A and B are shown apart, each in its own frame.
Chain A
Amino acid sequence: MKVNFLLRTVLLLALAFVFFVCLLNQAQAQSSLKSTNYEITWPNLNMAAGGSTSPGYKMGITAGQNSPGLYSSNGYRVRAGFQYIHSIIPFSFQISTQALAFGNINPEVLTNNQSLTLTVNSGSAGGYQVTVWENDELTSTALSTIPDTACDPTDTCTQNNSGTWTQTNTYGFGYNMTGTDVPDVPPDEFTGSKYKRFANAANVLPAESPVKIMGKTPVEGHVAGKDKTAIMNARINISNIQAAGTYRNILTFIAIPTY
């Protein structure tokens, strides 16, 4: 009885494997890929850079070509755009506001928050990145500063690594991100009230660089498309003894396609 049952199970499994192997395993080659925003073909395409004239200037056409003979005579070879994307959709970048206006900042609370939305249309680009850094710490006209946050002492943060910011006696200026294409390395970087401080262009020892806050490359799973959005939530918290004044700085958002 038991032997029959086992035999039937094995027989059923074997039949299932044969079914999958015979019916599902078919060679699948791809030659092109289309969507409303782009068309990708393979393997070889040359794109020419367009010439143009206007009352302001006049120029000749610059065109791409692959022939070594032509290169010898002309001395140039030009290709504009990504080889595997046929699209004239511009690379677009939008910031929802020109300033995070904090107004009057209340001390010892975690409610001095302001947000802005970043929107990218990566249609003609193979991928993109948005980075941010500040010109300096928030500084008053009397040159007092609100330092960049280091997050809670139990889970500190830097410009590259996030940390928890839940204590009202944790001071400074920082941000977190949510939305499309926000880097998730390490995973859940910004979940659970996690923040980072801004990279600071004024720091020289060691020097700091803009930090990626949005964007994907093809290998990271970039999907060409419109209206990719991410929201930056910025926070300020100050102590009771913070010098009174109007504090300001500049956040520079840099959006570039990949290469």
Chain B
Amino acid sequence: MKLKIFSLISFLFIINFWFLANPAQAQTISLDIYPPLLEVTLKPDKSITQVYKITNNSEQDFIMNSQIVPFEPADELGNAQLNFSSQSPAREWFSFQNTDLQLGQSFLLKSGQTQQIVLAVKTPTNAKEDDYYLTLLFETQPSSLNEELSSAQAQAKIGANILLTVSETGEPPRKAEIAEFKIQKTKFKIIDSFTQPQFVLKIKNIGRSLFKPMGTMTTTGWLKQKYFLNLLPENILTKSTRQIACESNAESKTCLLPSKFLFGPYETKVEFGLDKVSADYSAKITFIALPIKLILIVLLLIILIMIVKLVQNRFKLSLDK
């Protein structure tokens, strides 16, 4: 009998917990998008399509909307600044090929549902040969809440970037300039032997189309030992400068030299090509690694020992007297 009562209470508790817990979960907004990036090179008067998947992982259905928004580099680190008021003509070149959905049209995305979107890009005959950078954005519609409560409603927008190059030949003029190549936080080209030097490489795009730098940073020591850092092939957009990251065994992609100890003079040379591995562009820096901290510690120790010995000698002398 006791067991039955216990089971009943447990059952009621679980049911109660389930119904109370769900409303809190239902408040989340959770969206997925794929692919995150699309790079397209297209002739004028041509079209392509690309499938996107947008998923609602929330516990609740959402009314969604879509839009194409131009963006530009926000800084030299790879962040983007969306320009909602831009009048870029490229916005008109995009449409959805879904039979039941248009770009900019609201649609219901149910909880757990994935909506496939077929994005079409069609360049007009007179499309100017240039680069166009845009973001395909999907946004939730803020839900209606209790009118009696002061609140800030949350709206989520999730997007994927599109890098569109309009070109007749498929090989638009690409040109780069090394804006900066140095070791971070170093003065007088001297580093401590136990500090891994971190290189800063900034490349400026002075051409008419985006490119990816492909190449290597090679550091050579006085014993001809070599260290290699491959440049991460990230897009550098037109009229912008971007600091380049490096491939590395570490999770972080900073250009950190993979060495725990360096000693003597070193030369680091960077060589890269645009969208191909080559040595079309190059620059080099030299630096000297010295165990500055170790020398300071040893000097301090020597001075300390000498002082101790001096004090001991004077103490002995005073005792002898």
Contact = CB atoms under 8 A, between A and B. Distances in A.
B80 interface: yes
B106 interface: no
Nearest to B35: A80
A248 B79 contact: no
Interface string A178-213: 000000000000000000000000000001011010
Contact of B118 (A59, A96, A207): A59
A17 B251 CA distance: 30
Given A43-B214, A138-B152, A209 B158 contact: no
A78 B40 contact: yes
A218 B252 CA distance: 7
A131 B158 CA distance: 11
Contact of A100 (B82, B133, B151): B151
A177 interface: no
A56 B163 CA distance: 27
Judged by DSSP, the binding face of A is: mixed
B258 interface: yes
A253 to B, nearest CB: 5
Contact of A80 (B37, B158, B221, B294): B37
Interface stretch (B8-16, B174-182, B232-240, B280-288): B232-240
Given A25-B261, A97-B154, A217-B78, A90 B38 contact: no
B251 A35 contact: yes
B320 interface: no
Given A68-B171, A80-B37, A255-B156, A98 B142 contact: yes
Interface residues of B, number: 110
A43 to B, nearest CB: 5
Given A13-B298, A105-B150, A30 B248 contact: yes
Nearest to B143: A98
A27 interface: yes
A5 B298 CA distance: 13
A257 interface: yes
Contacts of A223: 251-252
A161 interface: no
Interface in B282-312: 291, 294, 298, 302, 305-306, 309
Residue from the set B46, B50, B294 with the largest chain A CB neighbour count within 10 Å: B50
A100 B142 CA distance: 12
A124 B226 CA distance: 32
Interface of A: 2, 5-6, 9, 13, 17, 20-21, 24-30, 33, 35, 40, 42-44, 49-52, 54, 56-57, 59-60, 62, 68, 71-72, 75-84, 88, 90-105, 114, 116, 119, 121, 124-127, 129, 131, 134, 138, 173, 207, 209-210, 212, 215, 217-224, 234, 236, 246-259
14 contacts: A21-B223, A24-B261, A68-B171, A76-B46, A77-B40, A80-B35, A92-B31, A94-B28, A98-B145, A99-B152, A173-B152, A223-B252, A256-B80, A258-B161
Given A79-B39, A99-B145, A246-B149, 16 more contacts: A30-B230, A44-B214, A57-B98, A77-B42, A92-B33, A94-B28, A95-B156, A129-B79, A134-B152, A173-B152, A212-B79, A219-B77, A246-B148, A253-B155, A254-B137, A256-B161
Interface of B: 27-43, 46, 48-51, 53, 55, 57, 74, 77-82, 85, 97-101, 116, 118, 133, 135, 137, 139, 142-143, 145-161, 163, 169-171, 193, 212, 214, 221, 223, 225-230, 232-235, 237, 242-245, 247-249, 251-254, 258-264, 276-277, 291, 294, 298, 302, 305-306, 309
